[in-house]
Amino acid sequence: MRIYLDMCSIQRPLDTKTQPRIAVEAEAILGILTLCEAGQVELLTSDTLVFELERNPHPIRKEYALKVLTKATVFIRTDDHIEAQARAFQAEGIKPLDALHLASAVATKADYFCTCDDRFLKRAKTVDTGQTKVVSPLELIAEVTQ
């Protein structure tokens, strides 16, 4: 099972857990990462994730995300095909960086693409992502632990 976590999902465990939803999503992401470490799921990363990571001004968040990305077994490089797919997603109302993340996951036939961003999640669920299912952290943990 191949999983692409966008940066907001990767960072969720570091968010303030005063809201129950954030706390539960954080635990779901930590569960997914545990499954990655155990070899039960395959984590994907991309040069788009690295780009976003490098722009993070918070050293602790940056270091944490880098550690998560080192667990990935597949690295996706943006190419012309991914850029074209991202432009198509942008035409559907998805922000450029989000579109690159989603296009990277779709190009490598990820089973799941996970985001915590409600607006992005809603839009991404309406576009054709082929076999890649767009999910929230709670949907993802439910799917992979069935």
The total number of structural domains in the chain stands at 1
pLDDT in tens, 39-53: 999 999 999 999 999
pLDDT at 145: 87
How far is 87 from 118, CA to CA, in rounded Å? 21
Please give the residue range of the domain that contains residue 113: 2-144
Helix (H, G, I), strand (E, B) or coil at 109: coil
pLDDT in tens, 23-44: 999 999 999 999 999 999 999 9
Q: Quick one: 4 exposed, middle or buried, by C-beta within 10 A (0-12, 13-18, 19+)?
A: buried
pLDDT at 146: 80
CATH number, residue 98:
3.40.50.1010
pTM for the whole thing? 0.96
